[in-house]
Amino acid sequence: MELKDKVVVITGGVSGLGQATARYMVGEKRAKVALLDLNEEAGAAMVEELGEANAIFCQTDVTSEESIDAAIAAIMDKFSAIHMDVNAAGIPLPCKILDREGKASSLAKYATVINVNLMGVFNVMAKCAEQMARNEPDENGERGVIVNVSSGAAFEGQIGQSAYSGSKAGVNGMNIPAARELGPLGIRVNSIAPGLFGTPLVKGLDQKVQDSLIAMCEAPKRMGEVDEFAHACAFLAENGYMNGRVLRLDAATVMQAR
């Protein structure tokens, strides 16, 4: 799919990898972006930075159907179409199976992570796919592209990541059934499993912590640049033969237990 002038919905779009993807899509690909996030102040700043002609912010709770419906309505009112959906919203809330006293973890804590990281992804993906299916197909028969953000933790989760790893493995598990269902409509579905990336949150950690994380990277021995993640999202949009798969973007990193 050619991204110029296409409309890209990005959840978690005003921070971290989602924010970097929004900047890349507008700056490098000349696309339009819809930023779905909770932080209204950061959202307004991003729209000012990218330009009102290129961006819209919708204060959104990805776990709420009503909230997503309102966001989709606002996007369609402004841009009249949705062509790509990047689901980058997520929470890394730790959740051990047993606490320090040997008691079972709270199910509510586990459910909070699943609701945002897995159910939230399905919620936005489904609402965007509904609009994509109404697009006129391009010369290759494509109407839309969905990229769901997973994690290396889906494969090698660390201790305390039972909820997070489970949610991200679920994201990958949707690839094939979603690609099979939506493929006949001209909509492709893939996921990206990023490793360690230099987001402001990570770069704000103590240098010793950063060094310990980088030590787990195989090659290259560094954090990923946020634009490398954004470039991967663009690749999944532009390469029409990528479908139903997970792209591990992690410098061959295998996370250790701790």
pLDDT at 203: 85
3-state secondary structure of 188: strand
Return the exposure string of 51-80: e unless at least 16 CB atoms fall within 10 Å of the residue's CB, then b. Answer: eeebbbbbbbbbbeeebbeebbebbeeebe
Structural fold of domain 7-197+225-249: Rossmann fold (3.40.50)
Which residue is associated with the tokens 């237990």? Answer: 257
Give whole-number Cα distances, 51 to 47, 54, 65, 81, in Å: 6, 5, 28, 18
Asked, as a colleague might, if the bond just before 220 is cis with ω within 30 of 0, I would say yes
pLDDT at 205: 83
Decide: 118 and 167 in contact? Cβ < 8 Å: yes
pLDDT at 213: 87
Return the exposure string of 199-236: e unless at least 16 CB atoms fall within 10 Å of the residue's CB, then b. Answer: beebeeeeeeebeebbebbeeeeebbebebbbbbbbeb
Q: Which one-letter amino acid corresponds to residue 170?
A: G
User: For the sheet containing 84-87, what is the strand order?
Assistant: 55-59, 32-37, 7-11, 84-87, 144-149, 187-194, 246-249
Q: Which one-letter amino acid corresponds to residue 96?
A: K
pLDDT at 150: 97
pLDDT at 78: 98
Tokens of 253: 């990193």
3-state secondary structure of 36: strand
Asked, as a colleague might, if the bond just before 200 is cis with ω within 30 of 0, I would say no
Q: Which one-letter amino acid corresponds to residue 174?
A: M
Decide: 229 and 195 in contact? Cβ < 8 Å: no
Distance CA 18, CA 25 (A): 10
Consecutive 10-residue averages of pLDDT for the chain (258 residues): 98 97 98 98 98 98 98 98 97 93 94 98 98 97 98 94 97 98 98 93 86 91 96 98 98 87
Active site (catalytic) residues: 164
Q: What is the pTM of this model?
A: 0.95
pLDDT at 202: 86
pLDDT at 201: 78
pLDDT at 148: 98
pLDDT at 204: 85
